[in-house]
Amino acid sequence: MKKISIGPLYLQVRSHMKSRIESGEWPEGSVIPGENELAEFYKVSRVTMRTAIKALVDDGTLVRKAGFGTTVAMNRSSMSNFTLVRSFTNEMNEMGLPSKTMQVELRMIEADVILASIFGIQPGDKLYNLRRVRGTVVPIQYCDTYLLPVVEIPNDKEILTGSLYAFLTKQNVFFSHFEEVVTAVRAPKPIRQALLIYDEYTPQLKRKRFSYDDRNKLIEYTETFYHTEHYEYRTEIFYRK
């Protein structure tokens, strides 16, 4: 395979595969070649090939179907037509850094007045609450997600530490648009402790994300705090024809 960029080999393979999808060589819904065939084509090991495919599955570009193979995701407005912000895992991968979920907790809660107002529901209505601390070798991100129970989220470590959007897409939950607000704040003490921030006066980035389905219904609301000594907030906006 001709190298197309500098960086980990699996990222080069992933980028080239994505180009083949966007060019129409592999149409939506089509089954891509098998792992062995692709590894031979790209002249890489099966481990590298498997990692590249997993990255495309995690970002919603590919879909694995048991007993059927790996297919190109169908054109749905939430995942195919545009991308607003890369996932934390993909951001770290593209920087060549390892990423992991250091703490995770999933619970079902009753909406308080503030959450009920945000979602347009009644106080006491049920919401999923997923809290995660994620980072590399140090904690970087404290993520507090609230989600309408439109599907059941199993208390499964692999799912909870992976991409929430990839899981929802596999459950046929799609988003039409997102709204984000980014501010500089002093993080509350429990969050500073989770992120190992020892100076209470150091401002941190706080991002609020509102995720809507194709009926303009708010499905997910997330508050994320970033350790500014270890993170730059990045966005990537493009339209996939």
CB distance 81 to 134 below 8 Å: no
pLDDT band at 152 (very low <50, low <70, confident <90, very high): very high
Q: Which residue has the tokens 């993170």?
A: 231
Q: Which of 30, 104, 34 is nearest to 71 (CA)?
A: 30
Say what the pLDDT of residue 113 is: 97
Burial class (CB in 10 A: 0-12, 13-18, 19+), 35: middle
* Predicted confidence (pLDDT) per residue in 65-113, tens digit: 766 688 888 665 444 444 445 566 666 665 566 678 899 999 999 999 9
- Give the helix/strand (H/E) hosting 51: helix 46-58
Select the more confidently predicted residue: 91 or 61: 61
Mean pLDDT for the chain overall: 84
Say what the pLDDT of residue 94 is: 58
Q: What is the DSSP string of 94-147?
A: HTT---EEEEEEEEEEE--HHHHHHHT--TT-EEEEEEEEEESSSEEEEEEEEE
At residue 201, the 3 state secondary structure works out as: coil
83-239 belongs to CATH 3.40.1410.10: yes
pLDDT band at 2 (very low <50, low <70, confident <90, very high): very low
In Å, what is the CA distance from 51 to each residue of 11, 48, 54, 100, 116?
9, 5, 5, 15, 40
- The residue type of 40 is E
Average pLDDT over residues 217-232: 91
The residue extents of the domains of the chain are 9-74, 83-239
Q: What percent of the chain has pLDDT over 90?
A: 49
* Predicted confidence (pLDDT) per residue in 165-207, tens digit: 888 888 878 887 889 899 999 999 999 999 999 888 888 999 9
pTM summary value: 0.62
| CATH code linked to domain 9-74 | 1.10.10.10
